[in-house]
């Protein structure tokens, strides 16, 4: 086998796993009539953890390009889940906040999403999940140091 081939395969498997996770979450959102996409969920999830952040920070945290994020923000605003406010320290930036409806959606959707995590953890096993998490953190650290 070619040098580095195993690592290439690992990276491909991580990508395929991410896509399977996305499909699972998207299916769960659709089945429960959440009215949002997985991409919208990523943005909302970031805001559920920290509000008043710039669109640039949101783009970095969700790995979305500027145009894609702007489109997501427009759709989330239309649905009444977020609003943007001018940054008082830099008028070129917009800070993003949740509306009360955006906060409420978290409480409505959390039990449904938690069930996906619980089901997967039961199927894989807590010990194996902990081991994989530790190993993926090691991979992350190696890549950060390259």
Q: Which pLDDT band, with edges at 50, 70 and 90, does 2 fall under?
A: confident
pLDDT tens digits for range 77-104: 999 999 999 988 888 888 999 999 999 9
Tell me the CB-side half-sphere exposure of residue 140, using CA atoms within 13 A: 7
* Residues 13-34 pLDDT 10s: 999 999 999 999 999 999 999 9
CATH of the domain spanning 5-145: 1.10.10.10
Tokens for 134, please give them.
Answer: 């530790």
């Amino acid at each position: 086998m070619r040098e580095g081939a195993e690592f290439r395969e690992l990276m491909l498997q991580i990508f395929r796993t991410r896509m399977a996770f996305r499909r699972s979450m998207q299916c769960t959102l659709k089945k429960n009539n959440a009215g949002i996409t997985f991409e919208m969920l990523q943005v909302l999830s970031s805001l559920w953890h920290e509000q008043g952040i710039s669109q640039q920070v949101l783009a970095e945290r969700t790995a979305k390009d500027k145009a894609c994020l702007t489109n997501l923000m427009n759709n989330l605003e239309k649905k009444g889940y977020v609003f943007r406010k001018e940054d008082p320290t830099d008028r070129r930036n917009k800070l993003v906040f949740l509306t009360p409806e955006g906060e409420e959606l978290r409480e409505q959707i959390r039990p449904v999403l938690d069930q996906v995590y619980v089901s997967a953890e039961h199927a894989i096993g807590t010990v194996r999940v902990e081991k994989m998490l530790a190993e993926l953190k090691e991979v992350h650290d190696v890549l950060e140091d390259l």
